């Protein structure tokens, strides 16, 4: 696993081959076919350009951009993935999944800095390779990573305070991608 130290105390842990291709295939198919995917409204009432699914411990809700994501009970596949991710870094009780159906599905610049969330986010990519970009809030320094089938990125330290990240649209013909973001949400 590569460790990338960012300005202002941000930290990225990256492993391009966290999962073997056969395990990544099995997880992708299970999540694509068995999770409750939905398209939710985003900022200004427009529909978000991707599908979303939320799973986690009983009673956990994650709210961002005015959208409430109530956790459905963990699936066996998600519990298996969670265990593998926690063995690397983190303690997670919620997973927000994004399903990018094609290159036109995306996630704009944002930081996951809600006060009820810990500073460690485990991000696992399954399916098509896409760009994952980070940008410093002040200097606007940008770094781009190609995240592929089975890539793990753990965002930690002060990354969410000083950096934003995105998955931009692409005109290239790409297949489907599922991204799992594991988080620790502190209940009220």
Residue ranges of the chain with per-residue pLDDT less than 50: none
pLDDT at position 63: 83
Domain spans of the chain, in order of start = 2-183
First-last CA distance in the chain: 34
pLDDT at position 30: 98
pLDDT at position 39: 81
pLDDT at position 43: 65
Which neighbouring-strand residues pair with 178? 99, 126
pLDDT at position 117: 87
CA-wise closest residue to 64 among 132, 121, 141: 121
CATH class of segment(s) 2-183: mainly beta
pTM: 0.93
Check: CB of residue 13 under 8 Å from CB of residue 156: yes
């Amino acid at each position: 696993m590569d460790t990338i130290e960012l300005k202002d105390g941000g930290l990225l842990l990256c492993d391009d081959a966290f999962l073997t291709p056969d395990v990544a295939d099995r997880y992708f198919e299970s999540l694509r076919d068995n999770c409750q995917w939905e398209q939710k409204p985003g900022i200004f009432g427009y529909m978000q350009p991707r599908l979303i699914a939320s799973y986690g411990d009983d009673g956990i809700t994650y709210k961002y951009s005015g959208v409430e994501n109530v956790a459905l009970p963990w699936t066996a596949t998600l519990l298996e993935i969670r265990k593998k991710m926690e063995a690397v870094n983190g303690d997670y009780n919620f997973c927000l999944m994004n399903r990018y159906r094609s290159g036109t599905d995306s996630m704009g610049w944002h930081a996951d800095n809600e006060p009820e969330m810990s500073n460690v986010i485990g991000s696992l990519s399954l399916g098509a390779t896409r760009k994952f970009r980070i940008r410093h809030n002040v200097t606007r320094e940008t770094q781009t990573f190609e995240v592929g089938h089975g890539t793990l990125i753990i965002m930690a330290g002060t990354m969410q305070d000083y950096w934003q990240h995105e998955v931009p649209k692409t005109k290239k013909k790409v297949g489907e991608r599922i991204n799992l973001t594991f988080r620790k949400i502190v209940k009220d």
